[in-house]
Amino acid sequence: MNQPSKNSSSGQSSDSGAGSGNGAGASHRTGRAPAGLPAITVDARAVEARAARFTRRSIKNEAKRAALAAAMSMVDLTTLEGMDTPGKVERLCRKALQPGLDPRLPRVAAVCVYPTFVAHARQVLEGSDVRVAAVATAFPSGQSFLDVRLDETRRTVDAGAHEIDMVIDRGAFLAGDHARVFDEIAATKEACGAAHLKVILETGELSTYDNVRTASDLAMRAGADFIKTSTGKIAPASTMPVCLVMAEAIRDHYRATGVQVGLKAAGGIRTSKQAWHYLVLIKETLGDAWLTPDWFRIGASSLVNDLLLQWERLDTGRYQSAVYFSND
């Protein structure tokens, strides 16, 4: 396995609170993490400067098709709307199985739906390698009784979900009750059984990079198979600096424990160019071992159509009209 990059934008600190001037928004003072979890102070300027450099990387024409295919294969094709129907979920699954007409196009990694649509998605995707992911634990707020959240997780897995995307209690985290957040993640992991657990940090509500780093470390220690940026329901959602902080946490966790954890960037990634930037970030921070659907995902809906537009342009030299691609 390729070893993660040695570049870093964070350092350890004895202060268990979030650093001032760290990331957008007001700082939140956080309590002590569970025993053995070091407090980290993130250099905000360094992380933002390094993240900006990833966006200036260019991809040569001969490498673009491989980059488009890689991005397509890592998509969690998502519909999480109050007006979702079995028909919409079925169309989404058909698109996941065959994003476009070109046989060189890979399938997406997974579809992500609400728990009530899991069984229907499993039926449509039967016999394929496209996985079914579902949000649970009172998504998107996480504000419900723990026994209700755990029961929802178990029932969703019983319905056929391969992967569970849970949300942490951001209120508890920001109040400094890290032990409670840790215990709830661990309990959800147990409720998942054989299903993989993605832990959504909702970084747009964590306010500082220090908090993002602490939440990332906390989730991995508690048993997360993936850490995920956002629900996609608030702004900002996924950003390059936040993903860099999370990727560096994953790298450091791997070095310390030998345990590989995945990363899912979700929310606001709509163009092929943005997807390429994230692939560069993953490659340069974590290495080629993470550049697979097993370890990196992009949660998106409209991104697939832009990947298809760019794919067609490589063949024809011009863009097709968006009307030739489905909106589901």
CATH of the domain at 184: 3.20.20.70
Q: Which residues 6+ apart lie within 8 Å of 273 measured at CB?
A: none
The residues annotated with a catalytic role in the active site are: 165, 228, 264
pTM above 0.85, yes or no: yes
Instruction: Decide if 302 is inside a domain.
Output: yes
Q: Are 289 and 269 in contact (CB under 8 A)?
A: no
Instruction: Decide if 253 is inside a domain.
Output: yes
Domain that holds residue 261: 10-317
**What kind and span of H or E run contains 227?**
strand 226-228
Instruction: Decide if 5 is inside a domain.
Output: no
Q: What is the DSSP letter of 206?
A: T
φ and ψ at 112, to 5 degrees?
-125, 120
Query: Per residue of the chain (328 residues), what is the pLDDT tens digit?
Result: 445 655 556 554 333 333 333 553 333 333 445 666 777 899 999 999 999 999 998 887 779 999 999 999 999 999 999 999 999 999 999 999 999 999 999 999 999 999 999 999 999 999 999 999 999 999 999 999 999 999 999 999 999 999 999 999 999 999 999 999 999 999 999 999 999 999 999 999 999 999 999 999 999 999 999 999 999 999 999 999 999 999 999 999 999 999 999 999 999 999 999 999 999 999 999 999 999 999 999 999 999 999 999 999 998 876 666 655 566 6
Instruction: Decide if 3 is inside a domain.
Output: no
In 193-239, which ranges are continuous DSSP H helix?
209-222
Number of domains observed in the structure of the chain: 1
